[in-house]
Amino acid sequence: METIVVALGERSYPIHVGPGLLGNAALYGLKAKQLLVVTNDVVAPLYLERVQAALAGHEVATVVLPDGERQKTLTTFATIVDRLVDARFHRDSCLVALGGGVIGDLTGYVAASYQRGIDFVQIPTTLLAQVDSSVGGKTAVNHTRAKNMIGAFHQPIAVLADTDTLRSLPPRELAAGLAEIIKYGIIVDAQFFAWLEEHIDELMALDAATLTYAIRRSCEIKASIVAEDERERGRRALLNLGHTFGHALEALGNYERWLHGEAVSIGTMLAARTSLALGWLDAGDCERIEKLLKRGGLPTRATGVAADELLDAMRGDKKADRDGLKLVLVEALGRAVVARAPAEATLRGVLAAELE
């Protein structure tokens, strides 16, 4: 097991990475007696029993939601709050999020809001959640017209990234997690990117040591950026490489066509191509990015999407301000920057060429 600490003063917390963590009660860091485990109907049959065994001695209630992004709404949020009120959960109780990003984001936002904030523990069971959504305290639910529009910054008290849970993950979801891992290399760590080029096949084969290293390094990078800029006033925005394009694609695909990581993969390529068109990134690096994403089993192009509809969908992005859209662009492997989007004609040109 490896442990990374997210250094945020009194809100600091550990991320534990490795096999066999679910059953280790000490890692949960619990002071609370009243616990509510929130999970879904895919994860519950696989891991809920093990978690409940680890929590023996506490008063444990459980909410099992249907699987899927459709649950990440204010309506489901209200349902969980009802459960907490009905069971008279106190301010010193704790939530446990057992599942992927949807469960983590939703449960985290309930924890942020119930009685103005109670503790919660993240147990991410997808690669995407282990390397991204469970780290850094971003919680949210979706609005019908925009993802993650309603939320809070609320840090968990501990994160347990149990690599054993990845064995039950469908290959498409594994690839979706790889998209975020590759992103860390592109934005700040060219060496890690090169390491990924060497080890991508072992990762895809779920080699335990390789997996643990890749998750640890991803969490380290994210933790250090979050520690510097918890509320995304500056540097943290780098983590959104590919996400402005990606969120817009997800919306256009009705949140069904692409998984988040797949949309981020396509978005990362669009950011890379835009950087290339601006003369910031050289063609060789651009190709290395595309090749690694493809080897990770990820899509790099969005067929059947018109440049104009994508541009329009992007304008509602959270990173837009009154002066217009901002994008994360790439100057070189390991060096991304937040920049004003280029002139619309330039951007439309890149998109038209890419989207076909």
Catalytic machinery residues? 116, 138, 180, 222, 232, 236, 240, 243, 247, 260
Footprint of its own copies on 183-242 (CB under 8 A): 231
CB of 84 to its own copies, least distance (A): 8
What is the rounded CA–CA span in Å between residue 137 and residue 317? 20
Footprint of its own copies on 321-350 (CB under 8 A): 321-322
CB of 75 to its own copies, least distance (A): 9
CB of 38 to its own copies, least distance (A): 16
Residue of 93, 126, 163, 218 that binds its own copies (CB under 8 A): 93
Q: Which is nearer to its own copies, 117 or 170 (CB)?
A: 117
| Stretch touching its own copies by CB under 8 A, among 35-43, 73-81, 253-261, 285-293 | 73-81
Residue of 50, 318, 335, 348 that binds its own copies (CB under 8 A): 318
Give the burial class of 82: count Cβ atoms within 10 A of its Cβ; 0-12 exposed, 13-18 middle, 19 or more buried: exposed
- Containing 85, the helix (H) or strand (E) segment is helix 74-86
Report yes or no: 247 and 320 within 8 Å, Cβ to Cβ: no
Residue type (1 letter), 275: S
Phi, psi of 76 (to 5 degrees): -65, -40
Tell me which residue of 258, 254, 299, 262 sits closest to 142, measured CA to CA.
254
Residue 79 engages its own copies in binding (rule: CB under 8 A) = no
From residue 263 to residue 302, the character string flagging contacts with its own copies as x (rule: CB under 8 A) and all else as - is: ----------------------------------------
Residue of 172, 294, 315, 340 that binds its own copies (CB under 8 A): 315
- Containing 342, the helix (H) or strand (E) segment is none
Report yes or no: 239 and 138 within 8 Å, Cβ to Cβ: no
Give the torsion sign (CA, 269, 270, 271, 276): positive
Do strands 158-162 and 119-124 pair parallel, antiparallel, or not at all (unpaired)?
parallel
Footprint of its own copies on 129-158 (CB under 8 A): 138-140, 143, 145-146, 148-153
Footprint of its own copies on 4-33 (CB under 8 A): 32-33
Residue of 81, 194, 204, 337 that binds its own copies (CB under 8 A): 81
Residue of 85, 209, 332, 352 that binds its own copies (CB under 8 A): 85
Do strands 326-332 and 335-340 pair parallel, antiparallel, or not at all (unpaired)?
antiparallel
Question: And the tokens for 173?
Answer: 């979801």
What is the rounded CA–CA span in Å between residue 260 and residue 154? 22
Q: Which is nearer to its own copies, 56 or 88 (CB)?
A: 88
Do strands 13-18 and 34-40 pair parallel, antiparallel, or not at all (unpaired)?
unpaired
CB of 354 to its own copies, least distance (A): 25
What is the rounded CA–CA span in Å between residue 301 and residue 210? 28
Phi, psi of 226 (to 5 degrees): -65, -40
**In which residue are the tokens 């520690």 written?**
227
Residue 61 engages its own copies in binding (rule: CB under 8 A) = no
CB of 336 to its own copies, least distance (A): 20
CB of 227 to its own copies, least distance (A): 16
Q: Which is nearer to its own copies, 66 or 117 (CB)?
A: 117
Give the torsion sign (CA, 252, 291, 166, 160): negative
Q: How many other C-beta atoms lie within 10 A of the C-beta of residue 320?
A: 14
| Stretch touching its own copies by CB under 8 A, among 87-95, 199-207, 261-269, 331-339 | 87-95
Residue of 3, 24, 79, 115 that binds its own copies (CB under 8 A): 115
Report yes or no: 184 and 56 within 8 Å, Cβ to Cβ: no
CB of 91 to its own copies, least distance (A): 6
Report yes or no: 332 and 281 within 8 Å, Cβ to Cβ: yes
Contacting positions for its own copies (CB under 8 A): 32-34, 74, 78, 81-82, 85-86, 88, 90-93, 112-117, 138-140, 143, 145-146, 148-153, 231, 315-316, 318-322
